[in-house]
Amino acid sequence: MARVAIVTGGTRGIGKAICQSLQAQGHTVVANYAGNDDAARKCADELGIEAYKWDVGDHEATMEGCAKVASEVGPIDIVVNNAGITRDGTLHKMSFDDWNDVMRVNLGGCFNMAKACFPGMRERQWGRIVNIGSINGQAGQYGQVNYAAAKSGIHGFTKALAQEGARYNVTVNAIAPGYIDTDMVAAVPDNVLEKIVAKIPVGRLGKAEEIARGVAFLCSDEAGFVTGSTMSINGGQHMY
Ligand code: CAA
């Protein structure tokens, strides 16, 4: 059945691939983004979707943004919390802002989107929330206490909200991507990335589409018995 889906951070990288895979399932897809207007315009034109700009780390902006989407496009039945940032650095060099920005956007964004959309899903007795976690939330990563804590928090958030949604046919799942060929991973210094890739049994970075396919499955009607789970898609780098 066709539904309205929103993908945060949906105009580039993994988010854009998720938009495409949900579109391929017949859904009406809306992308949220925070900063890059050019990329958003390009993505919206290419996919023929609407892109809405707000910062998911901002509670009020998220409540308003989702209300606008619901009134202009329709009630939101599928939420993919994909928006994420990095501010890598070892703890002794990390500022409070580096910590706080990552917690606010990566973890706070999931709370804000759920606050805006979960009540409607509960009332309509159907919903799908997929939160994009990370291998680094499962295993930790040198230089990422902020990101690893936020992503690890996403996995706990997922399991708690899954319990609240289950009896309303609202499933809540996470995907934990490994290192995927995106701008975010390209920002890792080459010498560091080489060592990371050497530890991936499949022997390469993942592709955004490989994450998107997992999201499409979790958002389908057929996945109604899958909730509170974490799907690891990481080329075997971490078996959890
Ligand atoms: N374990 C132990 N020691 C390590 C280490 C590791 N994994 N990595 C580096 N070190 C050591 C280095 O050997 C070095 O020691 P010496 O000075 O004795 O040689 C020391 O730590 C400092 O290392 P750097 O020179 O790398 O320090 P830096 O301050 O210049 O940079 C850093 C630190 C920014 C964290 C850099 O190492 C880095 O970018 N690391 C990659 C972090 C990463 O993987 N980010 C993922 C981004 S993508 C993403 O997050 C998506 C996703 O979900 C997977």
Q: Where are the domains of the chain?
A: 4-233
Q: What is the mean pLDDT of the chain?
A: 97
pTM of the model: 0.96
Cβ–ligand 1 distance for 182 under 6 Å, the answer no
- Ligand 1 nearest-atom number relative to CA 178: 54
Q: Choose the catalytic residue: 142, 147, 179, 240.
A: 147
Residues with Cβ within 8 Å of 167's Cβ and at least 6 positions away in sequence, in order, are none
Structure tokens at 139: 């295993």
Cβ–ligand 1 distance for 54 under 6 Å, the answer no
* pLDDT tens across the length of the chain (240 residues): 889 999 999 999 999 999 999 999 999 999 999 999 999 999 999 999 999 999 999 999 999 999 999 999 999 999 999 999 999 999 999 999 999 999 999 999 999 999 999 999 999 999 999 999 999 999 999 999 999 999 999 999 999 999 999 999 999 999 999 999 999 999 999 999 999 999 999 999 999 999 999 999 999 999 999 999 999 999 999 997
Residue 193 backbone dihedrals phi, psi, to 5 degrees: -65, -40
User: Contact 231/174 with Cβ under 8 angstroms?
Assistant: yes
Distance 102 CA to ligand 1 centre (A): 17
Cβ–ligand 1 distance for 142 under 6 Å, the answer yes
Reference 12, options 80, 76, 83, 81; nearest CA is 83
**Is residue 240 among the annotated active site residues?**
no
Looking at the domain 4-233, which fold is it?
Rossmann fold (3.40.50)
Cβ–ligand 1 distance for 91 under 6 Å, the answer no
Residues 174, 165: Cα–Cα separation, whole Å: 14
Interval 200-233: pLDDT, tens? 999 999 999 999 999 999 999 999 999 999 999 9
